[in-house]
Chain A
């Protein structure tokens, strides 16, 4: 209930802040259109790879970046400190702050995937795995956003501090585009986004091994999401340094 209250307030704030609104609502869709119209070679030819890149970009531009900016701004205003002195639990504060951004990206993802399915005459093989991939990706992006905001002083500084997490996420994204095996599987397990990409690919294209092929990327992406969340919980500061 308190999460919903906070989410309603947060939605109001997003709609009233042009920078966050453009970053969260316009930029991801613009990127999706750009990716869809670009010739990315093998990526463009594979529905699963394209879906993975689209989802990665949506989460990157629609969740990770704006949540970092939002948290830096709310902390600078001491709004987070105020919320911590309310009866709202930590979980509901996090859900209230991140929920609207995740919801906007969810709507965008549905639109992008629907357009992809329409243009390619083929939808995802396993939509339920796509939902799981989205959920894992959303948790990972929110956690990375909180983590990045831990060392971000202001919303302006977020444009710089978000670069390392963006690079890591993009590296993971492209690592996951090819089948992950051998030595690379160890690396992929440690890079946020890689298992997520593999999972999205499998969700869209399917696999001769059926659901069994999805177990490893699902477990790995969940571990990455949980690890990022735990690290963020440990490092995140609710008020500016004294």
Chain B
């Protein structure tokens, strides 16, 4: 199923992410104008987005951007100061128990009783959900050799993997995963990605917060970048990167920038490398290559591509608060 998304600037300057659903499917998660405060500090300010069943939505942002507060509110652990949150059509704060069987959470802190073993912890979780034991998941997250070990003795990565097994054990319709791969080695990260993909293929909606931009690019159908409590960018990875200037770098070669052909983009030279930032990547690249061929200039290490999420992230981070 496909959904058409568009952006609509708010009067306040924040971005309201409205998903115009082209048919009658109910969103798995629907957040409108969410605001959360700690005393006088506003942690989340006017955040809106929806997540469809089978969609993986990545929420990016620096520490303190408001991601975890957004997730905790969506899970029903906090009451919003303003706005509405609906998960599976229900208010998660008021219907926490009703949703608990359909919603799973991987939090930043894993929340285990340290003196229970891995097997006991998973068993306790499935028992609380009145589900049959899912011990095979211990193997799937590569913890079979640690099944009888107390949680206190697990490494950070192993605790994360146990957390993932617990989330998967309830076969959730919605998964809130708050930085689930932090502290994992590359192999475990890839295994986690595969399990998340498997979940969305089964129709579950996933809200993923992450610091890893490559993770968002790899997994997410849609990405929102939060900054100081607001959504600063929203779209697919391609849409977000396409909305920023692409970059062509050349060099390091000593040549006169004044001799360059007329380009649509802005040029700058630093450490002998020429950087062209442009909204017309293909046309400018063509002009540059044509000029190099005509004049016999060796462009050296030529690189061209759209803006990366890292660059956009850095740009948002350094921008003054609106």
Contact = CB atoms under 8 A, between A and B. Distances in A.
B128 A12 contact: no
B100 A85 contact: yes
Interface string B92-119: 0000110011010101011111111000
Contact of B113 (A5, A79, A84): A79
B113 A239 contact: no
A17 B107 CA distance: 25
Contact of B128 (A78, A87, A242): A87
A78 B110 contact: yes
B212 to A, nearest CB: 23
Interface in B122-136: 124-125, 127-130
Contacts of B110: 78
Contact of B77 (A2, A85, A88): A85
B56 interface: no
B115 A81 contact: no
Given A5-B128, A86-B129, A12 B115 contact: yes
B107 A78 contact: yes
Nearest to B124: A9
A89 B23 CA distance: 36
A81 B124 contact: no
B120 interface: yes
A74 interface: yes
A81 B106 CA distance: 12
Contacts of B100: 85-88
Contacts of A2: 127-128, 130
Interface residues of B, number: 27
B45 to A, nearest CB: 16
A1 B101 CA distance: 15
B274 interface: no
A103 to B, nearest CB: 19
A188 interface: no
B138 interface: no
Interface in A81-95: 81-89
Contact of A84 (B96, B115, B120): B96
Contact of B114 (A6, A9, A77, A89): A77
Nearest to B163: A82
Given A2-B128, A6-B128, A239-B77, A85 B112 contact: no
A78 B129 contact: no
A13 B105 contact: no
B115 A16 contact: yes
A91 to B, nearest CB: 11
B10 interface: no
Contact of A9 (B96, B101, B120): B120
B226 interface: no
Given A9-B120, A87-B101, A78 B109 contact: yes
A87 B97 contact: yes
Contact of B115 (A13, A78, A87, A88): A13
Nearest to B176: A85
Contacts of B109: 78, 81
A85 B110 CA distance: 12
A77 B159 CA distance: 12
B125 A12 contact: no
Contacts of B120: 9, 12
Nearest to B151: A77
B113 A1 contact: no
Nearest to B125: A86
Contact of B127 (A5, A17, A83, A239): A5
A13 B128 contact: no
Interface in A36-65: none
A79 B128 contact: no
Given A2-B128, A81-B111, A242-B38, 15 more contacts: A5-B124, A16-B150, A78-B109, A78-B110, A78-B111, A79-B112, A81-B109, A82-B107, A84-B96, A85-B76, A85-B107, A86-B125, A87-B101, A87-B128, A88-B100
25 contacts: A1-B130, A5-B124, A5-B128, A9-B113, A9-B116, A13-B113, A13-B115, A13-B116, A77-B112, A77-B113, A77-B114, A78-B109, A78-B110, A81-B109, A82-B107, A82-B111, A84-B96, A85-B75, A85-B76, A85-B103, A87-B100, A88-B97, A88-B100, A239-B77, A242-B38
